[in-house]
Amino acid sequence: MRRIHHFTLGLLLLLSPVSTACWASTPQLEALLEPLSLGERAKVDNTQIISAKLLSRVYQVRHYQALWEDKDYAGTMLDVIKRADEEGLAKEDYHYPKLVELYQQLSASNWQDEYKSSIFEVLLSDGIITYAIHLLNGKVNPSMLGKTWNYDEAHLDFDTTLKQLEEHIKAHTVAEAINGLAPKITPYHQLKQYLAHYKDLAARYPFTTIPYTEVIKPGTTSPSIKGIAARLKEQGYLDANATVQDATLVANAPLLYDNILEAAIRQFQADHSLKADGVIGAGTMAALNVPYAQRVEQIRINLERARWLSANLSANYLIVNLAGYELLLFKDNNLSWRTDIIIGKIDSKTPLFKSKLKYVVVNPTWTVPNSISTEIINHQRKDPDYLHKKHFKVVESSGTPVDASGIDWHSMTRKNFPYWFVQEPGADNSLGLVKFIFPNQYSIYLHDTPSKNLFDKTDRAFSHGCIRVKDPLVLADKLLSANANWSSETLNNKLAEGKTENLFLDEPLDILIMYWTATIKNGKIKFYNDVYTRDPVLIEALNRPTYEGVLADDGLLNTLD
């Protein structure tokens, strides 16, 4: 597990006493907790403690006085933990079943059993602490899922936390404080609503696979139409009373794919990152046949990805959603503008990381990375005039030009080629007219492209790793418009000069390269293909019980100690 030390002071304050009254006696708590501090065991009543050392320190400081003396208030804490399911987390990770059992038993006995009261005390504190961590930073440690991850974790300031939490404890509003740890970004709360919706669908409708044998086009008939119409009605794409068949046809006969159903299919395709052409092919049928329980898991992991952002969002920022092939510009925490992008191919995936976008290069040159120089060499072998046509120069590492006609191209390979290819500025430059620089160790940047036709594709993983932008000049103008004395005319003039120039942003902008396979677009959920196959490992990690993470101690799950 990943142990997060910088939360300790803030969560100690969360558990600060309201009074010295307690349910459990000092000896009982001390007997339960002292072995934890010695590392002798990390279980209480056969239940694994997640933050054993921290709990031990908390109660040592308090001389083993109980924290949760108001049983009605403790009941509200159980309600808070129960609502973890609504966040895409699992209440079982926070001792919920055991706490409910103990609470019922203790309530029935008027809290006379001091030993059980002590167990309840410890498990409730441990559950609240762990839940708070997972809401704030996510349950899964993202750095264990990818080496490029460099996002910050959320921190709690001691002085601020002290004042706020003392007020919350006195007012019995710790529940609100805990709930306030969840991400503030709007898509998170909308995804929560869709999580509840798809859970409801999974509970209401037994899921069966719709048979599919061939492409179904509008105006044709197919035995699959009945199942397709039913599925679309369940999901709200078709009105419950919509008719999509000739009334004279019997139930098991082929049904007509009419214009009512076609309109619903087109909307379904648009919401599931499919070409919205109304043709029901293998891709559309595959999306229709995704079980609701699987959609629930897909939404849960994207809520988790949103939690990873909590400490990384300022008022203004760029989010690059690789799975959605989209770039999102936020101003004052609201989506201001979006455009389509092209990302790295499967064998040259664009990495996930954050940086600061510092400047825009107009009329850029392109120095071909050594890793893809083979492509240029092969083109030159086939066409001796290729370099001239594409405005490439061959240069030494010092930048000194080399006469390309004197090179034996048939003997050149990537390994023995001692030079560099540099493409001069121009409309046919592979980087287009502008590129956007945010320092990183992977040589990744945003850029224009002359290959605009690729943006017509639904799936757009075509690059060698860098990110191509559909509307780069609009993006450049929006980024630079915050600069003093900037105008759109300035950009046009710079481009017309044809000279390579760096235009720095007065205020560098946070850029966050993320991967969301379910998000919100125009107020509705949109599902994307898992192009880089990142979802399964995250689903597995998110569903791993936290107590297993404690025992494994492999850093995959976030805990506090």
| Whole-angstrom distance, CA of residue 15 vs CA of residue 65 | 11
Note whether 127 and 118 are within 8 A (CB). no
Strand ranges (DSSP E) for 515-542? 518-521, 524-527
What is the chain's Cα-based Rg? 29
Q: Tell which residue, 458, 461, 464, 459, has the closest CA to residue 431.
A: 464
The per-type count for the chain, helices as H runs and strands as E runs, is 19, 21
In this structure, what token pair is assigned to residue 109?
A: 């006995």
| Residues β-bridged to residue 519 | 526
168 is catalytic: no
Alpha carbon distance 321, 319 (integer Å): 6
| Sequence-ordered list of residues with C-beta below 8 angstroms from that of 230, at least 6 positions apart, any chain | none
DSSP symbol at 557: B
Q: Helix 114-137 crosses helix 292-307 at what angle (to 10 degrees)?
A: 80
Backbone angles phi, psi at 447, to 5 degrees: -160, 165
> Any catalytic annotation for residue 189?
no
- Cα–Cα distance measured from residue 220 to residue 232, given in angstroms and rounded to the nearest whole number: 18
**Other C-beta atoms within 10 Å of 250: how many?**
7
What is d(CA 459, CA 454) in angstroms, rounded to the nearest whole number? 9
**Token code pair at residue 303:** 């809520």
Query: Which candidate, 379, 472, 490, 377, places its Cα nearest to that of 427?
Result: 472
Please give the structure tokens belonging to residue 239: 């009105």
Place of tokens 């008022």: 315
* Whether 366 contacts 448, CB under 8 Å: no
Q: Estimate to the nearest angstrom the gap between the alpha carbon of 336 and the chain centroid.
A: 19
Task: Give the torsion sign (CA, 474, 479, 480, 484).
Answer: positive
- Give the pair of three-digit tokens for residue 469: 């932008």
For the annotated catalytic residues, the residue numbers are 447, 466
